[in-house]
Structure 1
Amino acid sequence: MRTISVPLILINLQDDGFHLLVEIVAFGQKLLAVVDTGASRSVFDRSFIESHVKEIEHTEEAHATTLFTTSSTLQATIPKLKVGGLILKDYETVALDLEAVNQAYEGLGHPPIGAIIGGDLLLQFHATINYRKMKLFLYKE
């Protein structure tokens, strides 16, 4: 089993806790993503997906439960997704509007996010978060 170590960025939400961010690459573009252990699956920002994907499936059914809410989602395929040294081909994803999240981040002086890394990837790759080392460890067979 190969261990993939991904650096984490800790951001302070002032009196409302902390979020962990990781740098990812989708469509050849670097993005920051929130690591959300409570999210059922990973999601991408709707406007980011719409600007890169021609074939998008619209659905009213919420396919992702995250710390953010949504009323409708889009489904799309990302040809190549990189999370540190982990490379995923033809990654099926859900997109939702992260504009409110990004406005809140901007108000706190933080950079925008383009995605949320959720339980689907964290479970599949047996993720471990090491706060002392500020690393996300993923294990690929």
Structure 2
Amino acid sequence: MRYKIPIEIIHLEADNYHLIASANFTDGTRGKFVIDTGASKTVFDKNLADYFDIDEHETEELHSAGINDEPLVTSIGYIRPFSFGKMKIENLKVALLDMAHINDLYSRAAGISVCGLIGSDFLLKYQAVIDYRRKRMVLNFSR
């Protein structure tokens, strides 16, 4: 089944754009995810504890292009059910990070906050196609 998910193109600064997809959680709360094709792993804000279950026995090294050469050791969690439009997502495995610094940037630049980053693991799994002209992301879901 194909799902067409509306996206926003946020202009952060000169020639700097980010793609945002809105999600709905089961409690009626909306969250915004940055679609990050350069991220290998999907990330969720560890400060939003009501929306994930942590895997106490699993950690993962997350290699990022940050200021340090050392990999970042993160906790692993599973986001509780949420949906992108009509597409319901369950048990999405994520790296849990404190996203306060990222939200500070988005708040100052665009007046929004984000709950996570959709990485290439998710985009590849659902064979994502980003259509900039129509401002949508097409996801393919098969059971």
Q: TM-score range by the shorter chain?
A: 0.7 to 0.9
Question: What is the one-letter code of the residue matched to 1:132?
Answer: R
- Worse-superposed segment, 29-38 or 91-100: 91-100
For structure 1, the residue ranges without an aligned partner over 5 or more in a row are none
After TM superposition, give the deviation of residue 81 of structure 1 in Å: 2.8
Q: Is the 8 A contact 1:3 1:138 kept in 2?
A: yes
Kindly indicate whether residue 12 of structure 2 is the aligned counterpart of residue 13 of structure 1: yes
Distance 1:106 1:33, change over 3 A: same
Question: What is the one-letter code of the residue matched to 2:7?
Answer: L
Secondary structure of 1:129's aligned partner: strand
1:47 aligns with 47
1:37 aligns with 37
Alignment deviations for residues 2-53 of structure 1 (CA, whole Å, 9 cap, x no partner)? 11000001111112510000001345331000000111121101101x3444
Q: Is the 8 A contact 1:58 1:73 kept in 2?
A: no
- For these two proteins, the number of residue pairs brought into alignment is 139
Question: What is the one-letter code of the residue matched to 1:32?
Answer: K
Secondary structure of 1:62's aligned partner: strand
2:97 aligns with 96
2:107 aligns with 106
- Runs of 4+ with >3 A deviation: 51-56, 58-61, 63-72
Secondary structure of 1:102's aligned partner: helix
Q: Identity of counterpart residues, as a percentage?
A: 25
TM-score normalized by the length of structure 1:
0.83
